């Protein structure tokens, strides 16, 4: 194969602006990487045993609840910016540096490891996150980072050079479990979340730590601005477990992700009146917990009506005494649907009906057979808004071509929309992006029993590597 046409000078200004150079998605993919000799990317194979050994070794930092008898049958509890997150971050920096990467950390603790290419230009990234839920598993986020590192190791094994730089990015606090905005630091990078808003986020559970204080404490408050302008990317690809049941149920291996559904997070406060449980008649109560239960039930009904989903993951009440009627309840509400308009319609219905229920109106029979109570108050706070996202057709095409090449069977590949949010959502606002899904056993995620087979992990890692290299080759030939 002849050497690609040198177009770096022609493209350099566009790439530095963060612009993408489109290629025809229908073009036949003959992507190759160039070293001392031309190498067909299909000849580059990730090492499954090494990938899994490294994944499980790094899961010793933040090991969570045991769910089985096997040596790796434990979940993960590696909250963002915790001591165990620092251990994982230190490993990531040390490992990628040893693989020839230039590593930098921005003001939100996002870590960018970049392997040089033959030409100067923006890097094509594989990205995900190392933080987990409090009672999470070994694969959510973690697999995407470890597969990216395995890509770097495979390239080094074969002394393969890419035309442009490639890299791996670890995004901070993707889960939003400790600091309650999900995809928080990729959102700052994208310019959608103000830096000070993120810095001032206080940890859930009544602690005093903020994101800024913990970034300082663990040594990951970088000096580079957290911005797509300071660290632009040519493209962003993310390997992730599906977190749902479809691939396993249909006996398919790879999901080609076209986009992510919309969601909004709310904090709802219900204010009533503390009172003695034994001496206060039902009709004289303003029971905040009773109303909260009705509101949560109603959110499920409305989600069903709109073919959407709604969940409450955190609920707290005061004063918290067996013989005292709760006077205040606070709960979270997570509403998701494929279309922004659906989420907006659900929010409007919820706010209307919650106010009516608080005033004592009988909405959809929720008060049937119950004693009317005193009126209560309901207030709302919007914590996070993530619009529906459509990924870039060129990246989708690269993933699909890679998936079909790796599996050798189109029937094993499925087009999908993600029900969960991911850092690729924010990355996609400033560069071409897409995602790759691999099966989740029983559709389980955010749970210690989260599991994807070693074979499927390696298959996903192979598709990730090929997608990055195909995109790199397309840039070179454009």
Query: CA-CA distance, 285 to 170, in Å (whole number)?
Result: 50
Give the orientation angle of helix 340-358 with respect to helix 288-305, to 10 degrees: 150
Question: What average pLDDT does the segment 330-354 reach?
Answer: 97
Lowest mean pLDDT, pick from 107-121, 270-284, 409-423, 456-470: 409-423
How far, in Å, CA of 55 to CA of 145, rounded?
9
Tokens 């040594």 correspond to 219
Portion of the chain with pLDDT greater than 70, in percent: 92
The confidence band for 34, taking pLDDT boundaries of 50, 70 and 90, is low
Spatial distance between the Cα atoms of 123 and 332, rounded to a whole number of angstroms: 38
What is the pLDDT, as a whole number, of residue 26? Answer: 33
What is the average per-residue pLDDT within 161-185?
96
**Would you say how long the chain is, in residues?**
478
Q: Give the CATH number of domain 8-261+390-477.
A: 3.40.630.10
Grouping H, G, I as helix, E, B as strand and the rest as coil, residue 316 is: strand
pLDDT beyond 70 at 9: no
Return the SS3 of 463: helix
The pLDDT of residue 21 is 34
User: CA 143, 145, 146 angle in degrees (round to 5)?
Assistant: 65
The mean pLDDT of 160-168, rounded to a whole number, is: 97
Mean pLDDT of 299-308: 97
The pLDDT of residue 28: 36
pLDDT at 36: 42
- Over the stretch 362-401, which tens digit does the pLDDT of each residue have? 999 999 999 999 999 999 999 888 889 999 999 999 999 9
d(CA 241, CA 447) in angstroms, rounded, equals 13
B/e letters for 324-357, b = 16+ CB within 10 Å, e = fewer, are ebbbbbbbbbbbbbbebebbebbbebbeebbeeb
| Cβ contact 447:68 at 8 Å | no
> Given a cut of 70, is residue 39 above it in pLDDT?
no
Half-sphere exposure of 464 (CA within 13 A, CB side): 36
User: Token pair for residue 77?
Assistant: 């509890």
447: enclosing H helix or E strand: none
How many C-beta atoms surround the C-beta of residue 365 within 10 A?
7
DSSP assigned state of 75: E
Q: Is the dihedral of CA 31, 33, 39, 42 positive or negative?
A: negative
Confirm if 448 and 137 have CB atoms less than 8 A apart. yes
For residues 277 and 467, what is the distance between their CA atoms, to the nearest angstrom? 62
11 confidence band (pLDDT: 50, 70, 90): very low
For residue 359, the number of C-alpha atoms closer than 13 Å in the C-beta half-sphere is 8
* Euclidean distance between CA atoms 7 and 316, whole angstroms: 59
Residue 16: its pLDDT value, please? 30
Report the share of the chain in percent with pLDDT over 90: 87
Looking at the DSSP assignment, which residues form a beta bridge with residue 384? 265
Average pLDDT, the chain: 92
pLDDT of 10 reads 27
The whole-angstrom separation of Cα 158 and Cα 281 is: 77
Q: Where are the beta strands (DSSP E) in 208-348?
A: 235-241, 254-260, 262-271, 275-276, 309-311, 315-318, 324-325, 328-337
Q: Take residue 281 and report the two structure tokens written for it.
A: 């008649």
pLDDT above 70 (res 326) = yes
Q: Tell me: the pLDDT tens digits for 233-279?
A: 999 999 999 999 999 999 999 999 999 999 999 999 999 999 999 99
Confidence of residue 18 (pLDDT cuts 50, 70, 90): very low
Which residue in 422, 424, 337, 333 sits closest to 382, CA to CA? Answer: 333
Rounded Cα distance, 357 and 295, in Å: 8
Indicate the burial class of 470 (C-beta count within 10 angstroms; 0-12, 13-18, 19 or more): buried
pLDDT in the model for residue 32? 55
* 52-61 mean pLDDT: 98
Domain positions in the chain are 8-261+390-477, 262-386
| Chosen CATH of 262-386 out of 3.40.50.150, 3.90.25.10, 3.30.70.360, 3.30.70.260 | 3.30.70.360
Asked if residue 47 has pLDDT above 70, the reply is yes
CB atoms within 10 A of CB 196: 10
Cα Rg of the chain (Å, integer): 24
Predicted local confidence at residue 33, as pLDDT? 56
Q: How confident is the model at residue 31 (pLDDT cuts 50, 70, 90)?
A: very low
Does pLDDT of 163 surpass 70? yes
């Amino acid at each position: 194969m002849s050497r690609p046409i040198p177009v770096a000078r022609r493209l350099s200004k566009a790439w530095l602006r963060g612009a993408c150079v489109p290629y025809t998605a229908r073009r036949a993919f003959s992507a190759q990487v160039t070293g001392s000799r031309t190498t067909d990317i299909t000849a580059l194979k990730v090492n499954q045993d090494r990938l899994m050994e490294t994944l499980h070794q790094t899961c010793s930092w933040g090991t969570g609840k045991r769910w089985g008898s096997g040596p790796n049958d434990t979940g993960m509890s590696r909250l963002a910016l915790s001591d165990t997150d620092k251990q994982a971050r230190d490993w990531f920096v040390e490992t990628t540096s040893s693989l020839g990467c230039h590593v930098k950390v921005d003001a939100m603790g996002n870590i960018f490891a970049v392997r040089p290419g033959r030409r100067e230009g923006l890097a094509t990234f594989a990205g995900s996150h190392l933080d987990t839920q409090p009672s999470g598993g070994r694969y959510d986020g973690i697999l995407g980072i470890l597969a990216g590192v395995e890509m770097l190791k495979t390239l080094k094994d074969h002394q393969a050079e890419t035309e442009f730089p490639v890299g791996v990015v670890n995004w901070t606090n993707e889960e939003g479990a400790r600091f309650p905005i999900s995809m928080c630091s990729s959102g700052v990078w994208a310019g959608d979340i103000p830096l000070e808003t993120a810095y001032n986020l206080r940890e859930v559970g009544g602690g005093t730590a903020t994101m800024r204080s913990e970034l300082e404490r663990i040594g990951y408050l970088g000096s580079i601005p957290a911005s797509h302008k300071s660290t632009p990317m040519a493209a962003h690809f993310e390997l992730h477990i599906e977190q749902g049941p479809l691939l396993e149920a249909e006996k398919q291996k790879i999901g080609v992700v076209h986009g992510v559904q919309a969601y909004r997070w709310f904090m709802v406060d219900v204010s009533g009146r503390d009172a003695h449980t034994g001496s206060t008649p039902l009709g004289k109560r303003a029971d905040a917990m009773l109303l909260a239960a009705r509101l949560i039930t109603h959110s499920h009904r409305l989600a069903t009506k709109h073919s959407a989903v709604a969940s409450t993951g955190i609920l707290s009440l005061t004063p918290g005494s067996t013989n005292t009627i709760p006077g205040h309840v606070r709960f979270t509400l997570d509403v998701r649907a494929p279309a922004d308009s659906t989420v907006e319609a659900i929010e409007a219905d919820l706010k209307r009906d919650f106010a009516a229920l608080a005033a004592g109106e009988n909405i959809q029979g929720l008060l049937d057979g119950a004693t009317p109570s005193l009126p209560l108050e309901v207030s709302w706070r919007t914590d996070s808004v993530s619009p529906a996202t459509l990924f870039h057709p060129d990246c989708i095409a690269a993933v699909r071509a890679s998936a079909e090449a790796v599996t050798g069977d189109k029937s094993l590949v499925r087009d999908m929309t993600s029900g969960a949010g991911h850092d690729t959502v924010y990355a996609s606002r400033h560069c071409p992006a897409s995602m790759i899904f691999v099966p989740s056993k029983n559709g389980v995620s955010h749970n210690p029993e989260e599991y994807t087979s070693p074979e499927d992990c390696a298959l996903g890692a192979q598709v990730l590597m090929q997608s990055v290299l195909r995109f790199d080759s397309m840039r070179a030939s454009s």
